[in-house]
Amino acid sequence: MAPTPLNVPLLNVANLACRRGGRPVFDRLSFALGAGELLALTGRNGSGKTTLLRALGLLVAADAGSIRWQGIDVARDRDAWRRCFAWLGHLDGLKADLTVAENLASACRLREEPGDRIDSSLVALDLGSLADRAVRTLSAGQRRRAALARVLATAAPLWLLDEPLNALDATSQAALRLALARHLASGGIAIAATHAPIDVPNVRALLMEEKKDR
Amino acid sequence: MTGFAALLARDLRLVWRRPGDVMVVLAFFVVATVLFPLGIGPETNLLARIAAGILWCAALFASLLSLDRLFAADYEDGALDLLLLAPLPLELAALAKCGAHWIVTGLPLALLAPLMGLLFGLSGPGLAALGLTLLAGTPTLSLIGGLAAALTLGARRGGALLALLALPLCVPTLIFGAAAVESVAMGEGFLTHLAILAALGLLSLATLPWAIAAALRQAGE
């Protein structure tokens, strides 16, 4: 067996192309990410940031190209791939009638994870005092924090975040940066679609450009 | 299996937090069935003869009433993405959601219907046939309704479209359910009808979760 190079990229995306409604959103998109790296997707509205994240999560089928995790095509074992990443969508994905703690607990059970990180993730995003409040009574920023806490509560090495800073105040943004830096320092990877710059070490930017109709 | 149990428990807990949603369905069932004697008149013989059809139709409409929120709520708050991304097969997730719907609508309707049958002057064996056929038939209604709910996700006027899609598919269940009570009234058994209803239930159990999952994947794109 050939020895594995030390800095082999964990996530390798090659020549990825995606069309929505007959219009090319992006094509020949390639990047590689190693442990401890954050990829910030920037670009105008409609430039395909969300579509790229959804294609990485296999929610949207890519038309061409490959996504490899640790050298293995992710389409080969979708379930194993889904356990590798945590998802924060454009929508929070919280049930309004459940409390924050219940939302996190049911999300962890759905992922078949023990949920032993729930308490620490609540503390990290300063949600300790809101844990037993129904999500419907929270503000937009508090809900976003609860959704982020759901990502922190998983053991997934890769975070896919769509506009994580949305609706967050300065204190919460700082808390998220700290949580992100900690995740990266422990060998994690994150891909975040964002308009505001995220100030953590090892951040790389990918500017998505709007495709003209052809 | 933990994911299946977690989803079922979550949906039941959500209903528990909002018991009004279930109460409205049951109240609709009671009100709708009570309207028929008022419209037709107090002829006990006639009412007893058509009771099964009325109660079955009312149960069918009542179970459709809450279906449009079955997947739409998850679709609107983003929880559907998490279901699509869960290691749990989507077919099992669909089954868990339809199962939760049956527990909070089909099951109470099957228990309530014999009580309403009493008002229509159904005999003891007729009441038993009504309750048992509803118990065997309502899971099919929940699964068919689940498919219609998944297919109409994101559609405008989804509720009306949902009923239009689901009702024709429910016809076999309705026919055998109502016919069972009829055959008891003729002094015959209803085991055949019950067996056919169970067979329909098993057939939908073996096919519809896959169709629902496919529709949900489509909606997730």
The string of pLDDT tens digits covering residues A26-73 is 888 888 898 888 999 888 888 888 889 999 988 888 888 889 998 888
Contacts B96 to A, Cβ<8 Å: none
Is A96 a member of any domain? yes
User: What is the maximum span of chain A, computed from C-alpha positions, in angstroms?
Assistant: 57
How many domains, chain B?
1
Q: Report the pLDDT value the prediction gives residue A77, as an integer from 0 to 100.
A: 87
Is A23 a member of any domain? no
Q: Please list, in sequence order, all residues whose beta carbon lies within 8 angstroms of the beta carbon of residue B160, skipping any fewer than 6 positions away.
A: none
Residue of A39, A13, A41 whose CA lies nearest to A28: A13
Query: Given B77, B84, B87, which is nearest A112 (Cβ)?
Result: B87
Give the residue numbers spanning the domain of A148.
33-208
C-alpha distance from residue B105 to each of A95, A120, A151, B206 (Å): 21, 39, 34, 21
pLDDT class of A97 with cuts at 50, 70, 90: very high
Rounded to the nearest angstrom, the minimum Cα separation between A45 and chain B is: 18
Q: Report the pLDDT value the prediction gives residue B80, as an integer from 0 to 100.
A: 92
Q: Please list, in sequence order, all residues whose beta carbon lies within 8 angstroms of the beta carbon of residue B53, skipping any fewer than 6 positions away.
A: B178
**Cα A2 to the chain's mean position, in Å?**
32
Helix orientation angle between A100-110 and B2-17, rounded to the nearest 10 degrees: 150
Give the residue numbers spanning the domain of B71.
2-220
A139-145 average pLDDT score = 91
> Residue A50 carries which DSSP code?
H
CB distance from A21 to chain B under 8 Å?
no
Provide the residue type at B194 as one letter.
Answer: L
How many domains, chain A?
1
Is A53 a member of any domain? yes
**Contact A106/B9, CB-based, under 8 Å?**
yes
pLDDT over 80 (residue A5): no
C-alpha distance from residue B145 to each of A209, B106, B114, B121 (Å): 43, 12, 23, 31
The tokens 């994947």 sit on which residue?
Answer: B217
Written as tens digits, the pLDDT of chain B (221 aa) is: 688 999 999 999 999 998 998 999 999 999 999 998 888 888 888 888 888 899 999 999 999 988 888 999 999 998 999 999 988 899 999 999 999 999 999 999 999 999 999 888 888 888 999 999 999 999 999 999 999 999 998 777 777 889 899 999 999 999 999 998 888 888 888 899 999 999 999 999 999 999 999 999 988 87
- Beta carbons of B146 and B97 less than 8 angstroms apart: yes
DSSP 3-state assignment of B43? Answer: coil
Query: Given A91, A112, A134, which is nearest B2 (Cβ)?
Result: A112
Residue of chain B minimizing CA distance to A151: B82
Query: Given B5, B79, B84, which is nearest A59 (Cβ)?
Result: B84
Contacts B79 to A, Cβ<8 Å: 93-95
β-strand pairing of A38-43 with A85-88: unpaired
Residue of chain B minimizing CA distance to A54: B221
**Contact B79/A93, CB-based, under 8 Å?**
yes
| Backbone phi and psi for residue B146, each to the nearest 5 degrees, phi listed first | -60, -40
Residue of chain A minimizing CA distance to B73: A95
Token couple for A191: 């891909």
Residue of B215, B71, B11, B75 whose CA lies nearest to A90: B75
Query: Given A57, A98, A110, which is nearest B3 (Cβ)?
Result: A110
**In whole angstroms, what is the distance from residue B38 CA to residue A156 CA?**
61
Q: Report the pLDDT value the prediction gives residue B221, as an integer from 0 to 100.
A: 79
**In whole angstroms, what is the distance from residue B70 CA to residue B73 CA?**
7
CB distance from A102 to chain B under 8 Å?
yes
Number of inter-chain CB pairs under 8 A, A vs B: 72
Ranking A17-21, A102-106, B174-178 by mean pLDDT, the lowest is A17-21
- Beta carbons of A194 and A203 less than 8 angstroms apart: no
Q: Report the pLDDT value the prediction gives residue A214, as an integer from 0 to 100.
A: 46
Q: Report the pLDDT value the prediction gives residue A7, as an integer from 0 to 100.
A: 59
Q: Please list, in sequence order, all residues whose beta carbon lies within 8 angstroms of the beta carbon of residue A67, skipping any fewer than 6 positions away.
A: A11, A12, A13, A16, A55, A56, A73, A74, A75
Residue of chain B minimizing CA distance to A105: B6
Q: Report the pLDDT value the prediction gives residue B106, as an integer from 0 to 100.
A: 93
pLDDT class of A2 with cuts at 50, 70, 90: very low
Residue of B206, B4, B205, B202 whose CA lies nearest to B89: B4
DSSP 3-state assignment of B134? Answer: helix
pLDDT class of A205 with cuts at 50, 70, 90: confident
pLDDT class of A201 with cuts at 50, 70, 90: confident
Beta bridge partners of A190: A38, A159
CB distance from A107 to chain B under 8 Å?
yes
pLDDT class of A212 with cuts at 50, 70, 90: low
Contacts B18 to A, Cβ<8 Å: 97
CB distance from A155 to chain B under 8 Å?
no
Q: Please list, in sequence order, all residues whose beta carbon lies within 8 angstroms of the beta carbon of residue B112, skipping any fewer than 6 positions away.
A: B26, B29, B30
Chain B contacts in chain A segment 28-87 (CB below 8 A): 57, 59-61, 79, 82-83, 87
This complex has an ipTM of 0.86
Q: Please list, in sequence order, all residues whose beta carbon lies within 8 angstroms of the beta carbon of residue A30, skipping any fewer than 6 positions away.
A: A13, A14, A15, A16, A65
Q: Report the pLDDT value the prediction gives residue B157, as an integer from 0 to 100.
A: 76
A103-126 average pLDDT score = 89
Q: Report the pLDDT value the prediction gives residue A211, as an integer from 0 to 100.
A: 66
Contacts B9 to A, Cβ<8 Å: 106
C-alpha distance from residue B125 to each of B38, B44, B109, B196 (Å): 25, 17, 18, 19
Query: Given A61, A79, A92, which is nearest B87 (Cβ)?
Result: A79
State pLDDT tens for residues B72-104.
Answer: 999 999 899 999 998 889 999 999 999 999 999
pTM: 0.89
pLDDT over 80 (residue A104): yes
